[in-house]
Amino acid sequence: MMEPVKGIERYTRRPGPGGETGGSYYRIRCRHCSSVFERKARKYSGPPPDLEGEVLPEAKKAGWDVLHGARRAMCPGCRGVLAQAKAKKEAKIMVTKPTPTPKPRTEPGEVVPLKPAVAGKAEAPPSMDIDAAFLIRDKLGEVYLDAQRGYGEGWTDKKVAESLTVPRDWVRQVRCKVYGASSAGGAEDFAPVLNEARAVLAAAKDLTEQGLKVQQEVAVFERARGEVLAQVGRLERRLADIEKAVG
Residue 132, classified by CB atoms within 10 Å of its CB into exposed (0-12), middle (13-18) or buried (19+), is: buried
**Minimum separation from the CB atom of position 33 to Zn ion (A):** 3
Q: Give the shortest CB-20-to-Zn ion separation in angstroms.
A: 23
Q: Between 75 and 184, whose beta carbon lies closer to Zn ion?
A: 75
CB nearer to Zn ion: pick between 65 and 188: 65
Q: Is 27 in the site for Zn ion (CB under 5 A)?
A: no
- The 8 Å CB, 24+ separation contacts for 39-45 are 41/10
Phi then psi dihedrals of residue 181, to 5 deg: -65, -25
Ramachandran class of 141: left when φ > 0, alpha when ψ lies in -120 to 50, beta otherwise: alpha
Nearest approach, Cβ of 76 to Zn ion (angstroms)? Answer: 8
**d(Cα 195, Cα 138) in Å, to the nearest integer?**
33
Angstrom distance (rounded) from CA 137 to CA 124:
23
Give me the 32-51 binding string for Zn ion, x by CB under 5 A, dash otherwise. xx-x----------------
H-helix or E-strand containing 39? strand 36-40
Question: Which of 5, 41, 78, 178 touches Zn ion (CB under 5 A)?
Answer: 78
Minimum CB–partner distance for residue 2 and Zn ion (Å) = 23
Nearer to Zn ion, 59 or 161 (CB): 59
Choose the binding region for Zn ion from 65-73, 75-83, 115-123, 236-244 (rule: CB under 5 A): 75-83
Question: How far apart are alpha carbons 84 and 141 in whole angstroms?
Answer: 66
How many binding residues for Zn ion (CB under 5 A)?
6
Interaction between residue 66 and Zn ion (CB under 5 A): no
Nearer to Zn ion, 33 or 111 (CB): 33
DSSP, collapsed to helix, strand or coil, labels residue 79 as helix
| End-to-end Cα, the chain, rounded Å | 145
Euclidean distance between CA atoms 56 and 39, whole angstroms: 10
Q: How far is the CB of 35 from Zn ion (least distance, A)?
A: 4
Query: Cβ of residue 63: shortest distance to Zn ion, in angstroms?
Result: 11
Q: Which is nearer to Zn ion, 24 or 35 (CB)?
A: 35
Q: How far is the CB of 65 from Zn ion (least distance, A)?
A: 9
Q: Does 75 bind Zn ion (CB under 5 A)?
A: yes
Opening angle at CA 13, ends 10 and 14, nearest 5: 160
Does the protein bind Zn ion through residue 31 (CB under 5 A)?
A: no
Residue of 71, 70, 9, 16 lying closest to 41 (CA atoms): 9
- Decide: is 30 part of the binding site for Zn ion (CB under 5 A): yes
Nearest to Zn ion of 30, 160 (CB atom):
30
Residues that bind Zn ion (CB under 5 A): 30, 32-33, 35, 75, 78
